[in-house]
A and B are shown apart, each in its own frame.
Chain A
Amino acid sequence: MLSTFFLTMEALADLLQPTFMSMIVDRGIRNASVRQILFYGVCMLFIALAGAGCAVMRNGFASRVSQIVGKELRRDMYHNVQLLSMENIDRLRPASIITRITNDVAQIQEFVNGIMRIMVKAPIICVGAIILILVQTPGQAPVIAGILLVVSVLIFGNMRVGYPRFGKVQERLDRLNGVTREFLSSVRVVKAFNAEDGEMEKFDGVSWELARANTSALRTMAVFSPFISLTVNFGVVLLLWISKSAQSAEIGRLMASVNYMTQVLFAVGMISNTLNTAVRAAASSARISEVLCEKPAQRMPAQPLMPEICGDIRFERVSFSYAGAGKEALHDINVHIHPGETVGIIGSTGSGKTTFVNLVPRFYDATKGKLLIDGCDVTQIDTKCLRTAVAVVPQKALLFSGTIKENLRWGREEADDEELCRAAEVACADEFIIKSAQGYDTLLGQGGVNLSGGQKQRLSLARALVRNPKILILDDGTSALDAQTESDVLKGLGGMGGKMTVLLVSQRISTVMRTDRILCLDRGRVQGYGTHDELMDSCTVYREIYDSQIGGGYHGGA
């Protein structure tokens, strides 16, 4: 509101000046009065000063508003993305989301800033100047109308042509982002394969496409924008042309008219400058609203249950298939896991072990059947409440840049140092943490690049333990540990007291053998569920695995 006020004042000041100028000419010079000239001159200066003051204020507001708009947009998008499920993220693609949050928002910001500066001011000047021309020399109305018509057609045309092109630019920017990201996250492999040239070619390809898209969009602007000033220039000539017959026209008025017309010219020039950003911003805003409108694929319950979770998990005829994949990854699973139990999950590569455990913290929802935790349908439970009770140690240990301590605190923010140390001890991570130069304050690179695979896994496990979960999921989370360390870790887990339900996915039969019960999966189906001895009797798949690892020909023993 205030900024509009300042803006109006500023534009008014700009507008009044030619009037004063014409007064200087008409009254001052005509009447041969230096006093008059000075009087109007001083008036004019005052107005100019006031205008500049308003402009400064308006500039402050404009900057504020555009930055806040950008900030809010970024926050809302970020927030919304956080709410989205895995499926949404997979679909929108992280690389694209990143460009949208930074680059697209920046486009809008620039536009908002531009519009606050110019777009509002320019129309006011335009309209004001045109009204003044019409009042002073009504005969020129048709010319003005003609010019306005042509200009609006041009602006509209520019939008029509430029919009899809700029949309493409942003899309290409996404792709560039994606390719670069892939490239960066795999520098080691790229180098190992001496594939630098191939990667660069790929990069150059996308980069080239972006340049082309950009060029084509900008060329549109290059053709359209000056067209507008051409039109207005013609208008000036026309005005003069017409006024030649207006015998009674005072010279002052004529001059003022021409002057107003030049004002219009400048204003229109500004508009066409901003138009550039406007078209780009329009394309960006479509992309932003796509993110903002993306509905989470998982529906949150209207009245979420917040049960005290103690770790009873029941799969009732659960089937699941990934979006876009035809085959079912899990088929008709019926399993009941009691609180406090440790259940080993074993099966060949691609048999659905990870998918199985991913359903528990509701990363995905079962496509058929029901998953009950403590008797409540998992889709009815408040996700936050659910995930507080469940801790996951994923296959690929994902750590974040920051200190070790900060990474561990992801588990539970309010955990004190002692708790962190205890968790690290159980995960057998304390030993190498203490040995690191800065101990718990050692900085990790993104994804923990400066740690070995086993160290990452142990940290990731410690992070899960800090949480004091009711349900702990180890998704092959000990694969990079040597047998001795793994055994220590599992012993440590056992010592945590049987209050925790543990789902232990592993490839190693020796690992799952120690668990209370074992779930043997094959191609998404349950092949057997029971203790080691039961399965040895009843389940062929399990026996085969056992034989391959321990029984057949491998010596060493229990």
Chain B
Amino acid sequence: MEKKEYKPVRRHAGMPGGPHGARGGGEKAKDLVGIWKKLLGYCRKYLVISVIAILCSAIGTVLMLIGPDKLSELTDTITEGIMPPATSIDMDRVVQIGLTLVVFYVMSYLLSAIQGWIMSTVTQRVSKAMRSDISKKINRLPMWFYNQTTTGDVLSRVTNDVDTIGQSLNHSIGSMVSAIILFVGSLVMMLTTNGWMTLTAAVASLLGFVLMFSIMGKSQKYFTRQQKHLGEINGHIEEIYSGHTVVKAYNGEEEAQKVFDEMNRNLCESGFKAQCLSGLMMPIMGFIGNLGYVAVCVVGGAMALNGKISFGVIVAFMMYVRYFTQPLSQIAQAVQSLQSAGAAGERVFEFLEAEEMEEETEKISALLNVKGDVEFEHVRFGYEDSDATIIHDFSAKAVSGQKVAIVGPTGAGKTTLVNLLMRFHEIQGGEIRIDGTPIHRLTRAAVHSLFCMVLQDTWLFEGTVRENLVYNNERADEEKMKEACRAVGLDHFIRTLPQGYDTVLNDQVNLSQGQKQQLTIARAMIANKPMLILDEATSSVDTRTEQQIQTAMDQLMKDRTSFVIAHRLSTIKNADLILVLKDGDIIESGTHEALLERGGFYAELYNSQFEVAM
């Protein structure tokens, strides 16, 4: 797949005077044809049924075309009856033509209903396929991608952009096809009726197309901008509402409102330009239609005068001209809607084509009988989006079953180390080995399956307590789950909830931060994997509960290589190996006692937490 540079959306934290003004003007009209190719690629799966739909609309259109022909026959028949020297109207013929017309109309109704039915199914399937691809993509993107983009912007791509594509495909593909057929069809019908009159109409409409394409070229960039601004607004709102507490606490409403207003104005402006420019197409096409109409009238009138054509022919021709020029404005309308689909598609594909993590099919997908020897060798790392090196030259070795504690001041790179071990980020130098196998030779999933992980940030999703506990672990049985909850001291609390383990956790159930941590620890216990990572897992749990958890944890850590990050040094006193990290380097290592004896950085750190200084 071709790689394109993904342009993350950067926004500003609600402070006025952000560089918003500088934006705009820079976008080029992207490769529309390419985007449409990809969009249509999604429809390929539904090719057969789409062809049926198109056929339906084609046949329906043909029927529409024959309609006026029959109408003119009807008119002629009646006229013959009225005009002297005729005596009476040929009733049989009138009835016959009338019935044919009715049949035609009913059929064209059915066909267009079928076409609409099929198209609505197809477009929704296509949208769904697109959304699925986005969700797959979310999994394949490297972690640093999420450091650069806002949740809301990705959300906007999933909902608004895909929605726009779906809606406009549904609206316009059908009418586009029928318009084109109508156009070509009426051209043919006109040709068979009268060549000169056809030529007149054709010249007029050619003019229209030229104008339409030039407008399209101009307005496309505004459509792109519109979708982009919509994404930005989405990002802003998402962020503000996730941080509602802080926004409120800091009276940030006004600033946020200012930023919002600015974005809102941008969106309004680009929306206006897009719509206004592309909206020009309709009246222009309408005028071209009228021009053709008049021209045909004049030419037709002149010809009728000479007696070259009948009145019926003129009537039919008037209709044809309508049918001939009406698709022009229909096409104009469809093009307008397709333009916004193009802009939305651009954003969707931009996301889908963002650089992915490397392909892993050839890697080892599972490491069996893991003992749990972990070795860091000269690991060097800096985050992908910055130049600073965080870990310079890190080497350490954990033997199977050991409890390794990583301590150090904030920002020393403790969490980073864990991220590297989990392969959330790729190291830039050196190697990390598990049981002698470098982890870059394993698939990420294989690495993840080796570790239970309890993170600083607790994460619970909307679902029952039970679902949260047995997250992605179907084998966990009820008893084991309850046991884990008892171990972390949560069982009692859960049982006081209205529906116990089946209580749905959402915004309305107020779990304290500590309870959330207990829950995630229980989750890790249930997951039961060969190695364990605890990153500040108990920071918000009170110390009494912590002690209780500690016992359970010790049980859990037995025979498991575990990595523990904690600020409360009491929790890691019994570690087999303590690594003291500062600025990405190990400055001391050893057991608790050895380190205390040494009287270095660790000893200082340890003693400071019992200081009562005031």
Tell me if B311 and A251 are in contact (CB < 8 A): yes
Give the shortest distance, in Å, between A223 (CB) and chain B (any CB): 5
In the complex, which residues 500-515 of chain B have their Cβ closer than 8 Å to any Cβ of chain A?
507-515
Tell me if B290 and A71 are in contact (CB < 8 A): no
Tell me if B238 and A410 are in contact (CB < 8 A): no
Task: For B166, list chain A residues within 8 Å (CB).
Answer: 214
Interface residue B498 (Cβ < 8 Å from any Cβ of A): yes
Interface residue A255 (Cβ < 8 Å from any Cβ of B): yes
Tell me if A258 and B71 are in contact (CB < 8 A): yes
The B interface, classified by DSSP as helix, strand, loop or mixed, is helix
Give the shortest distance, in Å, between A219 (CB) and chain B (any CB): 5
Interface residue A304 (Cβ < 8 Å from any Cβ of B): no
Task: For B163, list chain A residues within 8 Å (CB).
Answer: 103, 173
Tell me if A180 and B154 are in contact (CB < 8 A): yes
Which listed residue (A191, A226, A390, A403) contacts B424, Cβ 8 A? A191
Task: For B18, list chain A residues within 8 Å (CB).
Answer: 402, 406
- Residue interface mask A473-501, B partner, CB < 8 A = 1: 00010011111110100010010000000
In the complex, which residues 384-416 of chain A have their Cβ closer than 8 Å to any Cβ of chain B?
384, 387-388, 390-392, 394-396, 398-403, 406-407, 409-411, 413
Tell me if A514 and B250 are in contact (CB < 8 A): no
Instruction: State in angstroms the CA–CA spacing of A487 and B614 once bound together.
Output: 9
Tell me if B75 and A255 are in contact (CB < 8 A): yes
- Residue interface mask B428-458, A partner, CB < 8 A = 1: 0000000000000000110011010101110
Tell me if B11 and A223 are in contact (CB < 8 A): no
Task: For A64, list chain B residues within 8 Å (CB).
Answer: 272, 276
Tell me if B139 and A196 are in contact (CB < 8 A): yes
Instruction: State in angstroms the CA–CA spacing of A266 and B329 once bound together.
Output: 12
Interface residue B574 (Cβ < 8 Å from any Cβ of A): no
Task: For B146, list chain A residues within 8 Å (CB).
Answer: 184, 187, 445, 449
Task: For A186, list chain B residues within 8 Å (CB).
Answer: 459, 461
Task: For B552, list chain A residues within 8 Å (CB).
Answer: none
Task: For B464, list chain A residues within 8 Å (CB).
Answer: none
Task: For B143, list chain A residues within 8 Å (CB).
Answer: 187-188
Tell me if A74 and B424 are in contact (CB < 8 A): no
The A interface, classified by DSSP as helix, strand, loop or mixed, is helix
Stretch at the interface among B29-37, B43-51, B102-110, B181-189: B102-110
Instruction: State in angstroms the CA–CA spacing of A484 and B147 once bound together.
Output: 29
The winner among B10, B264, B604 for most chain A CB atoms within 10 A is B264
Give the shortest distance, in Å, between B258 (CB) and chain A (any CB): 10
Q: Nearest chain-A residue to B12 (Cβ)?
A: A402
Interface residue B542 (Cβ < 8 Å from any Cβ of A): yes
Give the shortest distance, in Å, between B315 (CB) and chain A (any CB): 5
Tell me if B253 and A177 are in contact (CB < 8 A): no
Tell me if A479 and B245 are in contact (CB < 8 A): no
Stretch at the interface among A141-149, A156-164, A227-235: A227-235
Tell me if A93 and B507 are in contact (CB < 8 A): yes
Task: For B234, list chain A residues within 8 Å (CB).
Answer: 98, 102
Task: For A98, list chain B residues within 8 Å (CB).
Answer: 152, 155, 234, 237-238, 241
The winner among B152, B260, B411 for most chain A CB atoms within 10 A is B411
Q: Nearest chain-B residue to A322 (Cβ)?
A: B510
Task: For A237, list chain B residues within 8 Å (CB).
Answer: 71, 74, 98, 101-102, 105
In the complex, which residues 152-208 of chain A have their Cβ closer than 8 Å to any Cβ of chain B?
173, 176-178, 180-196, 198-200, 203-204, 207-208
Tell me if B298 and A41 are in contact (CB < 8 A): yes
Interface residue B119 (Cβ < 8 Å from any Cβ of A): yes
Stretch at the interface among B123-131, B477-485, B554-562: B123-131
Task: For A176, list chain B residues within 8 Å (CB).
Answer: 131, 158-159
The number of chain B residues with a CB under 8 A from chain A is 191
| Number of interchain pairs (Cβ within 8 Å) | 558
Tell me if A400 and B276 are in contact (CB < 8 A): no
Task: For A222, list chain B residues within 8 Å (CB).
Answer: 112-113, 115-117, 119-120
Task: For B113, list chain A residues within 8 Å (CB).
Answer: 222-223, 226-227
Interface residue A314 (Cβ < 8 Å from any Cβ of B): no
Task: For A229, list chain B residues within 8 Å (CB).
Answer: 109
Instruction: State in angstroms the CA–CA spacing of A489 and B115 once bound together.
Output: 69
Interface residue B246 (Cβ < 8 Å from any Cβ of A): yes
The winner among A32, A41, A222, A391 for most chain B CB atoms within 10 A is A222
Q: Given A82-B253, A219-B117, does the pair A113, B472 have CB atoms closer than 8 Å?
A: no
Tell me if A458 and B249 are in contact (CB < 8 A): no
Which listed residue (A32, A230, A326) contacts B106, Cβ 8 A? A230
Tell me if A45 and B294 are in contact (CB < 8 A): yes
Interface residue A537 (Cβ < 8 Å from any Cβ of B): no
Which listed residue (B154, B246, B542, B609) contacts A394, Cβ 8 A? B246
Tell me if B610 and A510 are in contact (CB < 8 A): yes
Task: For A494, list chain B residues within 8 Å (CB).
Answer: 614
Task: For A558, list chain B residues within 8 Å (CB).
Answer: 610-612
Tell me if B151 and A241 are in contact (CB < 8 A): no
Give the shortest distance, in Å, between A419 (CB) and chain B (any CB): 15
Give the shortest distance, in Å, between A30 (CB) and chain B (any CB): 10
Which listed residue (B15, B230, B385, B444) contacts A406, Cβ 8 A? B15
- Residue interface mask A499-520, B partner, CB < 8 A = 1: 0000000011110011100000
Instruction: State in angstroms the CA–CA spacing of A74 and B234 once bound together.
Output: 11
Which listed residue (B250, B290, B414) contacts A467, Cβ 8 A? B250
Tell me if A396 and B612 are in contact (CB < 8 A): no
- Residue interface mask B289-305, A partner, CB < 8 A = 1: 01101100110011011
Interface residue B135 (Cβ < 8 Å from any Cβ of A): yes
In the complex, which residues 221-277 of chain B have their Cβ closer than 8 Å to any Cβ of chain A?
230, 233-235, 237-239, 241-253, 255-257, 260-261, 264-265, 267-269, 271-272, 275-276
In the complex, which residues 273-287 of chain B have their Cβ closer than 8 Å to any Cβ of chain A?
275-276, 279-280, 282-284, 286-287
Interface size class of A (residues with CB under 8 A): 35 or more
Stretch at the interface among B191-199, B369-377, B396-404, B565-573: B565-573
Q: Nearest chain-A residue to B111 (Cβ)?
A: A226
Q: Nearest chain-B residue to A243 (Cβ)?
A: B78
Give the shortest distance, in Å, between B92 (CB) and chain A (any CB): 12
Interface residue A117 (Cβ < 8 Å from any Cβ of B): yes
Interface residue B543 (Cβ < 8 Å from any Cβ of A): yes
Instruction: State in angstroms the CA–CA spacing of A21 and B297 once bound together.
Output: 7
Give the shortest distance, in Å, between B571 (CB) and chain A (any CB): 11
Q: Given A67-B268, A223-B113, A510-B612, does the pair A17, B67 have CB atoms closer than 8 Å?
A: no
Tell me if B237 and A102 are in contact (CB < 8 A): yes
Instruction: State in angstroms the CA–CA spacing of A64 and B275 once bound together.
Output: 9
Give the shortest distance, in Å, between B124 (CB) and chain A (any CB): 4
Tell me if A480 and B567 are in contact (CB < 8 A): yes
Q: Nearest chain-A residue to B533 (Cβ)?
A: A192
Task: For B155, list chain A residues within 8 Å (CB).
Answer: 98, 177, 180-181, 184
Task: For A37, list chain B residues within 8 Å (CB).
Answer: 297-298, 301-302, 305
The winner among A78, A394, A396 for most chain B CB atoms within 10 A is A78
Interface residue B590 (Cβ < 8 Å from any Cβ of A): no
Give the shortest distance, in Å, between B407 (CB) and chain A (any CB): 8
Interface residue A48 (Cβ < 8 Å from any Cβ of B): yes
Give the shortest distance, in Å, between A539 (CB) and chain B (any CB): 14
Instruction: State in angstroms the CA–CA spacing of A348 and B490 once bound together.
Output: 12
Task: For B149, list chain A residues within 8 Å (CB).
Answer: 445-446
Give the shortest distance, in Å, between A225 (CB) and chain B (any CB): 7
Task: For A450, list chain B residues within 8 Å (CB).
Answer: 147, 383, 385-386
The winner among A247, A432, A449 for most chain B CB atoms within 10 A is A449
Tell me if A34 and B302 are in contact (CB < 8 A): yes
Q: Given A200-B139, A395-B513, A487-B608, does the pair A349, B541 have CB atoms closer than 8 Å?
A: yes
Instruction: State in angstroms the CA–CA spacing of A513 and B13 once bound together.
Output: 36
Task: For A335, list chain B residues within 8 Å (CB).
Answer: none
A-B contact pairs, 21 of them (CB 8 A): A41-B294, A48-B290, A51-B290, A67-B269, A67-B271, A75-B261, A98-B241, A106-B230, A113-B275, A117-B279, A192-B422, A207-B131, A219-B120, A240-B98, A244-B89, A348-B542, A348-B545, A349-B515, A387-B249, A491-B613, A514-B614
Known contacts A86-B245, A510-B610, A558-B611; 4 additional CB pairs below 8 A are: A68-B268, A185-B242, A349-B540, A410-B14
**Which 4 pairs from chain A and chain B are nearest by CB?**
A222-B116, A454-B410, A402-B13, A349-B514
